[in-house]
């Protein structure tokens, strides 16, 4: 097949109409899902997004172009989320007899709602194209702006859900992740979108193909070169070690008090062995989210720690604890012989609660319907903590994040109180055994690059890991295998530009690419016609 023939067939995509266009859009959305874990096929970004762009070209010729554009974008986004976060269904299957029936009523609306962010980007693109009569190479810039803005809005509207943001596709390689330290995930996602749309620009405007190829290729080379320059071994601290514990207690077994107690004993045994490897060095043992719900069930636990652990060892563990008279917190607590209160040295309560899992909006309505049991803590759910924290216990101050809290970039520790490292405790047993835990690990890698901080990540059933400040996974434990990672804590890098200036990079990027859209208007070269 000649290049001309390939181009002719590619251009024909925009001529699809009706259900064929929506089916093709869904297909390209499915393709985009493979750019994320578990497959991490980053190059498909340069096929899926151009496919969407070509379909939107055809939508603009329809009698109702805005409607056609919105439905095309929504079809694309809906199948993307259906495939990339289908692991959400596992949360309903842990207690399938009680919650399994809800899957067809909850998940399809969720996927359509998330897919509508792509629909909103598409209708934004259509509106600018039609109002400004853009017809040249700059005609794809509104789609870049729309997709970038949709990524940002998805991370902020309501409670926000920035899972599988476009920049997360760069988790395929450590080098590709490094620009996150400069501009953060939203601006970097915009840059990737702009580059990924260049194949569509080549198809539509072949007269500019050489310019697009040189510009896009040069940008990718610069990204990889920056990643290569930043790569390298990070020094380790000789005064602090971490022991990341993975107990591997199945989610169903968490409902059994005896199995919880057995898991607690096993975690303590793994911690003790790890601490004995370096008895004169400060060791932080990290246990996962809800390692022992509820603390009141094992009220003598701090005394056990005092008796069993070396003097320089601290246990940082997820717990569920009472707050006030009738509230409960999804919490993290620090225990150790040096702590006050019988071994308890510090506490942190999760402040970003998962809607409909840890907190139940409109509780009175659900109570009337008899399904208030959706909330695991009873009542309206867990009590939210006051906010981000920096815990100064031992020789290495850290900021804790509990599960869902690590998906929000730029909001990881108190402003002006940069810690030496981040601790993430999570229970990914809800996520199944494939895409969910791997995507969550990739998110933690992004947070490490953005902050320049190492991360110790303890996940109940995996994937537990020690992550370097450039997002490199130094050590990991496989899914569904108990174990412990024992290693010296990597040193932090200097504060990153992104953490110093926040989303200024996003504002600058959007401003720069908006300039030709606003100024050129009708002055573009007309797109080629299918020959």
Q: Is 289 among the residues known to form the active site?
A: yes
Cβ neighbours of 370 (radius 10 Å): 7
Contacts of 462 (CB under 8 A, 6+ apart): 246, 248, 428, 437, 477, 478, 479, 480, 481
Annotated catalytic residue, options 57, 289, 358, 450: 289
Contact yes or no for 177/227 (Cβ under 8 A)? yes
C-alpha angle 252-256-262 in degrees, rounded to nearest 5: 105
What is the rounded CA–CA span in Å between residue 507 and residue 421? 28
What is the rounded CA–CA span in Å between residue 214 and residue 226? 18
Q: Is 350 among the residues known to form the active site?
A: yes
**DSSP label at 375?**
S
Contact yes or no for 170/192 (Cβ under 8 A)? yes
Q: What is the dihedral of CA 266, 271, 277, 283, to 10 degrees?
A: 180
Q: Which of 190, 179, 269 is nearest to 482 (CA)?
A: 269
C-alpha angle 511-516-520 in degrees, rounded to nearest 5: 145
Cβ neighbours of 265 (radius 10 Å): 12
Q: Is 230 among the residues known to form the active site?
A: no
Annotated catalytic residue, options 254, 350, 405, 438: 350
Annotated catalytic residue, options 403, 405, 438, 472: 403
The two three-digit tokens of residue 70, written as one number: 């919105």
311-346: b or e for each residue (b if 16 or more CB lie within 10 Å)? Answer: ebbbbbbbbbbebeeebbbbbbbbbbbbbeeebbbb
Pairing of strands 483-490, 236-246: antiparallel
Burial status of residue 366 (CB atoms within 10 A of its CB: 0-12, 13-18, 19 or more):
middle
Contacts of 220 (CB under 8 A, 6+ apart): 195
Contact yes or no for 55/72 (Cβ under 8 A)? yes
Provide the annotated active-site residues.
Answer: 289, 350, 403
């Amino acid at each position: 097949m000649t290049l001309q023939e390939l181009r002719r067939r590619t251009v024909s995509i925009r001529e699809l109409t009706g259900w064929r266009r929506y089916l093709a859009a869904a297909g390209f959305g499915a393709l985009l899902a493979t750019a994320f874990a578990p497959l991490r096929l980053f190059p498909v970004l340069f096929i899926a997004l151009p496919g969407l762009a070509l379909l939107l070209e055809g939508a603009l010729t329809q009698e109702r172009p805005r409607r056609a554009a919105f439905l095309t974008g929504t079809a694309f986004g809906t199948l993307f989320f259906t495939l990339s976060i289908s692991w959400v269904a596992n949360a309903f299957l842990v207690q399938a007899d009680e919650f399994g029936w809800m899957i067809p009523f909850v998940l399809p609306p969720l996927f359509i709602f998330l897919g509508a962010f792509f629909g909103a980007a598409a209708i934004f693109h259509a509106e600018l194209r039609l109002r400004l009569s853009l017809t040249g190479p700059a005609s794809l810039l509104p789609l870049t702006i729309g997709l970038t803005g949709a990524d940002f809005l998805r991370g902020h509207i309501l409670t926000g859900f920035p899972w599988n943001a476009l920049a997360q596709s760069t988790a395929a390689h450590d080098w590709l992740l490094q620009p996150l330290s400069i501009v953060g995930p939203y601006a970097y996602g915009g840059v990737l979108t702009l580059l990924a749309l260049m194949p569509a620009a080549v198809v539509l405007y072949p007269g500019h193909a050489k310019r697009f190829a040189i510009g896009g290729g040069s940008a990718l080379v610069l990204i990889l070169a920056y990643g290569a320059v930043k790569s390298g071994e990070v020094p380790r601290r000789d005064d602090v070690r971490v022991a990341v514990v993975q107990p591997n207690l199945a989610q169903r077994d968490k409902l059994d008090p005896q199995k919880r107690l057995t898991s607690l004993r096993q975690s303590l045994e793994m911690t003790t062995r790890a601490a004995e490897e370096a008895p004169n060095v400060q060791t932080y043992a990290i246990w996962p989210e809800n390692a022992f719900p509820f603390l009141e069930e094992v009220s003598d636990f701090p005394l056990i720690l005092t008796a069993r652990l070396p003097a320089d060892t601290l246990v940082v563990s997820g717990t569920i604890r009472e707050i006030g008279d009738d509230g409960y917190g999804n919490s993290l607590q620090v225990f150790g012989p040096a702590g006050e209160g019988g071994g308890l040295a510090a506490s942190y309560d999760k402040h970003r609660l998962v809607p409909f899992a840890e907190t139940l909006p409109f509780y009175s309505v659900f109570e009337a319907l008899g399904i208030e049991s959706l909330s695991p803590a009873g009542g309206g759910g867990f009590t939210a903590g006051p906010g981000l924290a920096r815990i100064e216990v031992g020789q290495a101050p850290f900021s804790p994040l509990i599960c869902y809290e690590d998906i929000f970039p730029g909001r990881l520790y108190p402003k002006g109180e940069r810690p030496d490292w981040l601790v993430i405790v999570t229970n990914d047993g809800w996520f199944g055994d494939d895409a969910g835990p791997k995507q969550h690990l990739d998110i933690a890698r992004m947070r490490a690059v953005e902050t320049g901080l190492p991360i110790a990540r303890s996940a109940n059933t995996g994937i537990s890991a020690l992550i370097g400040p450039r997002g490199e996974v130094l050590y990991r434990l496989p899914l569904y295998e108990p174990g412990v990672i024992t290693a010296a804590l990597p040193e932090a890098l200097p504060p990153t530009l992104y953490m110093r200036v926040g989303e200024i990079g996003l504002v600058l990027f959007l401003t720069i690419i908006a300039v030709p859209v606003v100024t050129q208007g009708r002055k573009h070269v007309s797109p080629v016609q299918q020959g």
